[in-house]
A and B are shown apart, each in its own frame.
Chain A
C-alpha cells in the first residue's frame, strides 16, 4: 500500500461566535479552540448547534457575530470553495453521473492537477479507503459504506489541512459503523490532518476523539477528553449525555462541610459542597456502584441505599440491574462477571463510596433534552 502523504493539520480558533436565524439563535457565544492535527468531535442532541458550527467552519453559512480563524487566518466572508477544507456528508453527496475515479479526481481537476500526477493521487486516496477496485463503478452501484469511503477519499485527495465530517456514519448499520470508525481513526493517525467530526452518538465520540465538545441548546457545555467528560462532567447534561448514569435528587443539608442528601429512608454523603446556592444532584455511574445483600459486607464510609431489584439482565460480560430505591428512583448498577447473583424482587443495598459519585448543580434542561 502506498504511504499516504502526511500533511500539517490546521488549527481552528472560534471566539465568541454566534449564529442567528431571524429570532432563533442556533449558536450562542461559543468559544472553541482546535489544535493542529487533533480529532475533535462535536457531540450533542439534534438542534444543539453542532452542525451549525461545522457549517460555519465549512463556509456554508456566515457567522452572525464573533471570530473564526482557520490556520491562523480569519476566514470571515471567505466562500467555501476558497477554504480548502474537505467535507464528508451524512448523505455521501457523490456525483451520480461520475464514476468513483472521476468523483475522487474532481477536486484535483478543479485545482488544475492533470495527467499522471492526478491518476497517482486518485489511486493513493482510493488505496487509503480500500476502494481501488471500484474506480470504474458508478456511485449507485455501491453500498452505503462503500459510497462513504469514496466520499472520504474525495474529501482527502487534495490534502486539505482540515477535514469536516457531518454524521458520516449515521445512515449505516451498527457493524459497518464500528468498522468504519476504526478506519477513520487509522486514516487520521496516518495523515495528521485536523479532523472535526459531528455526531449525536456518544459511544462513537468516545471511540474516535482526542477531545469532545458537548453541545446543548446552542452552547458548549464542556470540552475535554472522553475520560474527563465521563469521570468529571462539568454539568448534569454532560454527565447524562456521556455514558449511563443514575441521577439522585433529594433534600440536602451541609454537615461539616460535606453535602448530605436524603433519598427516601437513606442518606448519602458527598464530599464537599457546591459553590453558590444551586440545588445539588448526585450522579452515579453503573460500574462505580455495587449491589450487596441488605446490611452485609459493610465498609466504613460507604453510602448504602436500600431498594428492590426490579430488572436483572445478563450481558455475558457481567450483569446489569435496575433497582427501585425507597424514594422511587430507579438506579442502574452493573456488576462484573463472578459477582453475586441477584433475582428480581430481591431486597438489596446499592453501595458506593463518596469518591465514586459526582456532585453537580441541578439543571432542568438536562432532562428535557434527553427524553
Chain B
C-alpha cells in the first residue's frame, strides 16, 4: 500500500492567530453604543415589567393566578400561538417558491422580485393593514370580485383567517429574505451531481436542495413566529372580538385599565412561553456541517 500524503484532516477554517484575536478583543468596544441602548431601552423596562408583575398591586403571584384562572385569557394565549403557527406556515408556503424563483431568474427579474419584497417592507405596517381592511371588508375588493364571478361572498374581515392573511403579508419579507440568502449560497452543481448518480430531478431537489436550504427556513420561521406572537396593530384592525390576541389584552390592561401588574404578567407569560419553544426547537436546527457555500 502506498503512502497517503494527505491523511491528516484539516478543519477548513483557520483559527484566529494571537494577533487577530487581540485585535478582535479591541473591536468589542465598538458594540458599546448598541449595548448601552439595549440596556436602557430594553433590559431596564423589561426588568420593571417583571418586577411589577410580582408586586403590583400587592407582592405575590396574584397576577399570574388571575391570568391562568380566566378561561378567556387561556384561550387568547392559545389562540396567539395558533395564529403565529398559521402565519409562519402560510409565510413559508409563499416564501419558499418565491425565494427559489429569485435564485434562478436573470438579474433584472431578480431586481424586480427583490423590490416587490422590499417596497411593502418600507411601508408602515399600519398603512398595509388599512389596505387589507379595504380588500377584505364585506363590500371590499375581494368580495366584489367573488360576487362578480357569481360566487357567494365570504366573511373575511374580523375573522381569524382575515388576521392570518394580513399578518402573513406584513411578515412575508422576514421569511423571504433569510431563505433567499441561504439559497443563494447553495451550489446548484450539487443537483447535477445528484442526477448523475441516478436521482430524478425532483428527488435531487427534495434530498439535496431542500436540506441545504433549511437553515434559512429555520431562521425565517423563528423570526416570523416571534414577531407574530407580539403583533398588535394588524390583529387589532383586521380581527374581531373572537380573534383577539394577547397583545390586545395587554394593551387593554395597561392603557385602559391602568393595571400594570396584570399587563406585565401577561408579557412575562408570553416571554417565557417563547423561550420554552425556542429551547425545544434549537436542537432540531443544529446542523453538523457548518458550511454549504460554493468553493472557488
Q: Give A contacts to B, CB under 8 Å.
A: 1, 58-60, 79-87, 89, 91, 93, 95-97, 106-107, 110-111, 130, 134, 137-146, 154-155, 158, 175-176, 179, 182-183
Stretch touching chain A among B110-118, B151-159, B194-202:
B194-202
A139 to B212, CA, bound (A): 14
Known A-B contacts A140-B290, A179-B2; A79 and B9 likewise in contact (beta carbons under 8 Å): no
What are 9 residue pairs bridging A and B, where the CB atoms are less than 8 Å apart in the complex? A1-B1, A80-B196, A81-B199, A87-B197, A93-B187, A96-B292, A97-B212, A106-B207, A110-B203
| Cβ-based interface call for B181 (8 A) | no
Q: Which residues of B contact A141 (CB under 8 A)?
A: 9, 11-12
Chain A residues with CB under 8 Å of B203's CB are 110
Contacts of A81 in B (CB 8 A): 195-201, 204
Residues of B within 8 A of A (CB): 1-2, 4-6, 8-12, 187, 189-190, 192-201, 203-204, 207-208, 211-212, 287-292, 294-295
Q: How far is the CA of A183 from the CA of B6 in the complex (A)?
A: 13
Complex CA–CA separation, A158 to B198 (angstroms): 10
Determine which residue in A89, A96, A142 has the highest number of CB atoms from chain B within 10 A of its CB, and name it: A96
In contact, B196 and A175 (Cβ under 8 angstroms)? no
The residue of chain A having its C-beta at the shortest distance from the C-beta of B186 within the complex is A96
Shortest Cβ distance from residue B199 to the other chain A in the assembled complex, whole angstroms? 5
Known contacts A141-B11, A146-B6: does B196 contact A95 (CB below 8 Å)? no
- CA A110 – CA B207 in complex, angstroms? 11
Pair A137/B9 contact, Cβ less than 8 Å: yes
Q: Which residues of A contact B207 (CB under 8 A)?
A: 106
Closest Cβ neighbor of A107 among chain B residues: B197
Are B9's CB and A143's CB within 8 A? yes
Contact A95 to B6, CB < 8 A, known contacts A81-B195, A138-B289: no
State the Cβ distance, B233 to closest chain A Cβ, in Å.
39
Cβ-defined contact, B196 with A139, below 8 A: no
B-chain residues with CB within 8 Å of residue A97 when the two chains form the complex = 211-212, 287, 289, 292
Tell which of B8, B187, B195, B197 has the most Cβ of chain A within 10 Å.
Answer: B197
Chain B residues with CB under 8 Å of A84's CB are: 198
- In angstroms, Cα B289 to Cα A128, docked, is 25
Known: A58-B196, A81-B200. A175 touches B5 (CB 8 A): yes
Chain B residue with the shortest CB-CB distance to A182: B2
Please name all residues of chain B whose beta carbon is closer than 8 Å to the beta carbon of A1 when the two chains form the complex: 1
